[in-house]
Amino acid sequence: MTEAALKYKLECYKKIEVLNEKGNLWLIKDSVSGKLFIMRKLSMEHRCIYQTLCSIRHPHIAEVLDVFPYQDELYVIEEYLAGRTLADFLKDEGAMGRQALAIGKQLLDALVFLHENHIIHRDIKPENIIIDGSGSIKLIDFDIARQFSEEKKEDTTVKGSRIYAPPEQYGFAQSDFRTDIYSFGITLNELATGHFPEEALCHGILRKIVLNCTEFDPKRRYQTAAQVLAHLRRLERRHFICRLSAVLLPIFLVAGSLAVKRLAYTPDDSSLPPEHSQADDSLSPESVPADGSAAGPDPTDESLMYELYSFPNPITLATMVLRDSESDSFSIDLREDFIVAVDTKKNEDRLVFSCSSEYEKDAHFSFEDIYIEEYKQECIQNHGYDPSEFSTVYEIVVTDINGDGTDEFLVTLARANWVEARIPEYSDYVIEYSLTWVLYLTEENNFACSDPLFINSRGPTLLFNDVLNSYNDYYTFQDGKWVIWDPWYS
């Protein structure tokens, strides 16, 4: 295109308003069509990025409609977006609460697409995200974006907003796709709480997502945006499906169970107390549409982020309960594209748990009450009763207890006694004590088992999907073992 043609093309756009302090961003109007657009004036070094953006389309990325040079400067024409930035939303409305989950998924979807096209945004923050009235977002401002090169060892210049930028963006190493993951984690926390992570870390299913995204060392973060999105969707799916179950038919550690969607297990009615003896047919796996559209609470309900989950009380995790001489087989995905086949059998007080995957065949584990003899003598001498006469019930829960993006099996043994009340509906099991093991995957994708966590006089309470509570004691599971967790310094 000739110089005269480029000049005429530029003159067809009438500048209506300057949109930034630099004076290189305008709201413009096309004198031919009368439509509004956004125009940027940049240096020619941005030509490659914006030409790539001009050739691709994504529902959550602002469309670049034209890119052309004129007098050694680059002009970029973008779609005009009606809405406001998430920064303005936070300023006007405060923390987004349950909306943060939906926004996070849209943003991750955009990042996956950008990274597939070898583009690193490098400036993910609320100011660069536009939200419309329907809650749909679009990512804008690629002025410091660049294309990833494996040959490059470090960035030549320090760019990006300081609070949202990871250490490598300050020249320690080359920024790569994990740079955007770090900034996403900061942004997600700010959307959920209105604060940066160091000020107030979000709870619930988003907490570990944020922590994993914002690790100082890029090697300890999620390695791709697709991993973050898959982890978030899996957590959301589990809470959504099992929350429906918890509303319609509560799960109790030792009082009953239901047809759980993930494990599709229904206990024998004869083993349940009367009030829990009938499973609701509406909870069968076949009754849930493939798109997850079964009636029930919104999966992005704010309570999903802050609710306390408890084994003795109705919970929202995939669960199965094994009683006397019961067995079951099932398959489950512990992470994306990693399916494990499981066989379980309870014989009196012992549980045999066998699992196999493409990496390890026939790993066998045996669980039993190793405390009963010592505890029995103490109870007989001091309290006059024999706890070995109580029922032994095993519960298997599937959850990402250590926040590494891969689910683990929590195997809990409860020693409990059924107590009949004068009012039948108040009859229930009373837990004497419980033991909880974790079956987890090693870095070599082999199964390993932790030592049991002993909790006296009750079952464990699961907080925020990754912390076990027993009265005033808190535990997390890290590096294959239970660790005391201090809520005041975490």
Packing angle, helices 177-193 and 86-93, rounded to 10: 20
Per-residue pLDDT in tens (0 to 9) along the chain, 490 residues: 788 898 989 999 999 999 988 899 999 999 999 999 999 999 999 999 999 999 999 999 999 999 999 999 999 999 999 899 999 999 999 999 878 989 999 999 999 999 999 999 999 999 999 999 999 999 999 988 766 455 444 443 444 467 888 877 766 567 789 999 999 999 999 999 999 998 988 876 688 789 889 988 888 888 899 989 888 876 665 443 333 333 322 223 322 222 222 222 223 333 333 332 222 332 222 332 333 333 333 333 333 222 223 333 333 445 556 655 577 787 888 887 788 888 888 887 888 999 888 887 789 999 999 889 888 888 898 888 888 888 888 888 888 888 777 888 988 888 888 778 787 766 766 788 888 999 999 888 889 999 999 888 766 777 655 777 776 678 888 889 998 877 655 5
Q: How many CB atoms lie within 10 A of CB 380?
A: 13
Q: Kind of pairing, strands 363-367 and 129-131?
A: unpaired
**Residue-level pLDDT at 157:** 42
Nearest-angstrom CA–CA distance, 9 and 30? 10
**Residue-level pLDDT at 119:** 93
**Residue-level pLDDT at 392:** 83
Q: Tell me if residue 112 falls in helix, strand or coil.
A: helix
**Residue-level pLDDT at 278:** 27
pTM of the model: 0.55
Tell me the sheet residues that pair with 30.
13
**Residue-level pLDDT at 468:** 78
CA angle 371, 434, 241 (to 5 degrees): 150
Nearest-angstrom CA–CA distance, 246 and 110? 33
Task: Write the DSSP string, 6-74.
Answer: HHHHHHTEEEEEE-STTS-EEEEEETTT--EEEEEEE-GGGHHHHHHHHT---TTBPPEEEEEEETTEE
Ramachandran sector of residue 149 (left: φ over 0; alpha: ψ -120 to 50; beta: rest) = beta
Domains and CATH numbers, the chain: 3-79 (3.30.200.20), 84-223 (1.10.510.10), 250-484 (no CATH)
